[in-house]
Chains A and B, each alone.
Chain A
Amino acid sequence: MHELGVLNALVHTVEGIVREEGLTEVEKIVIEVGELSGIVPRYIEQCYPAAVYKTFMEKTALELVVVPGIVKCRECGRVFNAAANDLYCLDCGGQNLEILEGNDMIVKEIVCR
């Protein structure tokens, strides 16, 4: 049920923006999902209709943009895609990694009026 909880949080966040900006209609939202966020894009897509059912977002389209999980090895300095490499450094095998990008889930854009 994790993705449903995340989407529920999303609906509340968009609701806040709609109120603040005085919007009347939200046609589409563009969401960035980081590869290292622990959130699975496919599940988000599957849960979305249930999460927005009977909310003001019922007719709002969802566009997901996957953001690569980029990390920097603190041992040797190499920068690489960690999601594709199981969180091990390609060069030195180290696991002391600093996450540079792809750690979170962000509302990027709202197409609205």
Chain B
Amino acid sequence: MNGFKVLQVKQSVFADNDRRAEELRQELKKQRVFLLNLMSSPGAGKTTLLSRTIEALDGKLKVGVMEADIDSDVDARTIESFGAKVIQLHTGGMCHLDADMTRQGLEALGTGDVELAVLENVGNLVCPAEFDTGAVKNAMILSVPEGDDKPLKYPLIFSVCDVVLINKTDVLPYFDFDMEKCAANIRMRNPKAKIIPVCARTGEGIDAWVGWLCDEVTKWKKP
């Protein structure tokens, strides 16, 4: 057949991105920069929770934030008003960020004086889960109004998360949201995920979350 051969590949479609993400993680380890990838549906509270987090850290860690809003700088300005270094990432309409876009973002942010870099990923529960960004840890926010069955409908994102923050606990009285059932649903998809109920509005649970984050940053910075 005019010189064609069949190469058995058996590689993930995402293999190239996975490789680039791993390279980025190794470089971040050397630079002692901790990168957190923060994911959720639109409006679950990423920006509000991040503002609270920066406030609660109270200067203990130098924070840099990358905002991946599709087409506005509203979130970036909010974060800036809380005193963190911030840049706006241009996703060009893409519904997720990959390792290369994250690398470019980190370069634009400048990580020389940053200990904790946070990527506010595009609001979407599907593709951010498939693309490793090179982050050290993946966090996701599930907000109470979205329902306790989300882990059953979007299994992949829950399976890649190290920590799931259940936000907007202040509105629990108004929704049929069963915290126990939600935790059980998350554990079915990912027995290792840490689950922390929080409220970005009242500040409930923020200490537990910030405690987890500081521990992880400390571990990462050890040689």
Contacts and interface: CB of A to CB of B under 8 A. Distances in A.
Interface residues of A, number: 34
Interface of B: 2-17, 19, 93-96, 98, 126-127, 130-131, 152, 155-156, 185, 188
Nearest to B11: A107
Nearest to B7: A110
A10 interface: yes
B95 A1 contact: yes
Contact of B4 (A38, A105, A108, A112): A112
Contacts of B155: 36, 99
A2 B127 contact: yes
Contacts of B8: 108-109
29 contacts: A1-B93, A1-B95, A2-B126, A2-B127, A5-B94, A5-B96, A5-B127, A6-B13, A6-B127, A9-B14, A9-B17, A13-B11, A13-B12, A15-B16, A16-B15, A17-B7, A38-B130, A95-B185, A96-B188, A105-B13, A107-B11, A107-B15, A108-B9, A109-B9, A110-B6, A111-B4, A111-B5, A111-B6, A112-B5
Contacts, number: 92
Interface residues of A: mostly helix, strand, loop or mixed?
Answer: mixed
A113 interface: yes
Nearest to A33: B13
Given A2-B127, A112-B5, A38 B156 contact: yes
Interface in A86-111: 87, 95-97, 99, 103-111
Given A9-B17, A27-B4, A97-B188, 12 more contacts: A5-B95, A9-B14, A9-B131, A16-B15, A17-B7, A31-B13, A38-B130, A87-B152, A108-B8, A109-B6, A109-B8, A110-B9
A30 to B, nearest CB: 9
B130 A6 contact: yes
